[in-house]
Structure 1
Amino acid sequence: MRVVPNFLPPRPAGRLIVIGAGKASARMAEAVEQHYGPCEGLVITRYGYARPCKGIEIVEAAHPVPDTKGELATRQLLDRVSNLGSGDTVLALISGGGSALLCAPIDGLTLRDKRDLNRALLASGAPIGQINIVRKHTSRVKGGQLATACYPAQLITLMISDVPGDDPSLIASGPTVGDDSTPQDAIAILDQYKIEISPQIRTAITQHPNVVAKHDPRLRNNQNHIVAAPSLSLTTAAQIATRDGCEVQMLGDALEGEARDLATEQAELAISLCPMVNDTGKPLLLLSGGECTVTRRGDGIGGPNAEFVLAAAIALNGQPNIHVLACDTDGVDGAAEVAGAYAGPDTLITALKQDIEPSVALANNDAHQFFEKIGGQIITGPTLTNVNDFRAILICPES
Structure 2
Amino acid sequence: MINDNLLEKIISPSSLQDFMENYYGKKTLHIQRNNISYYDSIISASILDEILTSTILTEKNLRVSKIDKQILKKEYSVHDEFYNEDQINIGKMMELFNDGASIIIDNISKFSRNILDLEIEISKKIGYIKNISSNLYLTPSDCQAFPLHYDTSEIFIIQLAGTKTWELYEYSKEVYPLKNSINHTLPENTSCIKITLQPGDMIYMPRGVSHKVYTNDEPSLHLTISLFPQTFVDLFELMHTTLKNNDSNFRKNITKQSSVTEIKKLFTDSLDQTQLTVFLETLISRNRYSELYQYTDIINSIFEEVDFKKTDFKFRKYANINYSQGTSLILYGTKKVEIEGDFSNLKLFLNNDSVLNLENMKVHFEEELSEELLYLLLQEGIIYRIC
Band the TM-score falls in, shorter-chain normalisation: under 0.3
Between Structure 1 and Structure 2, which shows a larger proportion of helix residues?
A: 1
| Bigger CA radius of gyration | 2
Greater strand share, structure number: 2
TM-score by length of 1: 0.22
